[in-house]
Chain A
Amino acid sequence: GEDVEQSLFLSVREGDSSVINCTYTDSSSTYLYWYKQEPGAGLQLLTYIFSNMDMKQDQRLTVLLNKKDKHLSLRIADTQTGDSAIYFCAESDADTGRRALTFGSGTRLQVQP
């Protein structure tokens, strides 16, 4: 089955860039997503990328996709304390009709003032 992996923890200083990495095994993944979960809250969709794209930028967020290596990253520029949260990558495979998401374990981002 599909497998999505992330490192568990990342600590950065306020104002620095954060890079959260994700690897996946399903070569037919169609869409790859990044979600943010703050303590006690639900999941907020940050951005997503279609598998035929290499990069997507949205304000402070940059998503890079290396399809050959099945590697996805989320870069947050000028990281703020409000960015402290757990970040989940997830994938779906629309080609096989599987629209449900397979999630990684989540990366806890801690931003130090």
Chain B
Amino acid sequence: SAVISQKPSRDICQRGTSLTIQCQVDSQVTMMFWYRQQPGQSLTLIATANQGSEATYESGFVIDKFPISRPNLTFSTLTVSNMSPEDSSIYLCSVEVIGYNEQFFGPGTRLTVL
């Protein structure tokens, strides 16, 4: 398996500000993804974080709102920009470890926007 950490674990932010979430994994991974889980809902893919190039975004998500970086195989950041209360969610990163078919999830970042 893989040990995945996310920072911060939770935050309360004001409308109009931005928050950057970090995801660090202890193994070299092939793929890293960012998901959103709105209150009481399932998980929705935001984007695939590509090493050294622009992330691949799903329909309904754009780079200006959710810029993503992935400078190396074990680290990625997701920024939630110009936040509104509708952005209140749990944001989770997941990874697929080289040589395995399993996908593992970080503990999530619980974001509340006032």
A binding-site residues for B, Cβ under 8 Å:
31, 33, 35, 41-45, 48, 50, 88, 90, 92, 94, 99-106
User: Is B107 interfacial (CB 8 A cutoff)?
Assistant: yes
User: Is B19 interfacial (CB 8 A cutoff)?
Assistant: no
* Contact present for A92 and B107 (CB under 8 Å): no
Interface string of B1-26 (1 = CB under 8 A from A): 10000000000000000000000000
Q: Do A41 and B107 form a contact, CB below 8 Å, given A31-B101, A100-B33, A100-B48?
A: yes
How far, in whole Å, are A99 and B22 apart by their CA atoms in the complex?
21
* Contact present for A88 and B33 (CB under 8 Å): no
Rounded to whole Å, the gap between the CB of A38 and the closest CB of chain B is 11
How far, in whole Å, are A23 and B103 apart by their CA atoms in the complex?
20
List the B residue with the shortest CB-CB distance to A41: B107
Rounded to whole Å, the gap between the CB of A85 and the closest CB of chain B is 14
* Contact present for A33 and B42 (CB under 8 Å): no
B94 proximity list for chain A (CB < 8 A): 43, 101
* Contact present for A99 and B31 (CB under 8 Å): yes
Rounded to whole Å, the gap between the CB of A50 and the closest CB of chain B is 7
Chain B interface, DSSP helix/strand/loop, else mixed: strand
Tell me the total A-B contact number using a CB cutoff of 8 A.
Answer: 51
Q: Do A103 and B43 form a contact, CB below 8 Å, given A42-B92, A43-B92?
A: yes
Chain A interface, DSSP helix/strand/loop, else mixed: strand
User: Is B54 interfacial (CB 8 A cutoff)?
Assistant: no
Partner of A45 from B31, B92, B102 at Cβ < 8 Å: B102
List the B residue with the shortest CB-CB distance to A104: B42
B104 proximity list for chain A (CB < 8 A): 45
* Contact present for A88 and B42 (CB under 8 Å): yes
Rounded to whole Å, the gap between the CB of B6 and the closest CB of chain A is 8
| 17 A-B contact pairs sorted by A residue (CB < 8 Å) | A33-B103, A42-B92, A42-B107, A43-B92, A45-B102, A45-B104, A45-B105, A90-B43, A94-B101, A99-B96, A99-B103, A100-B33, A100-B48, A101-B43, A101-B103, A103-B43, A104-B42
Partner of A103 from B30, B31, B42 at Cβ < 8 Å: B42
How far, in whole Å, are A35 and B105 apart by their CA atoms in the complex?
10
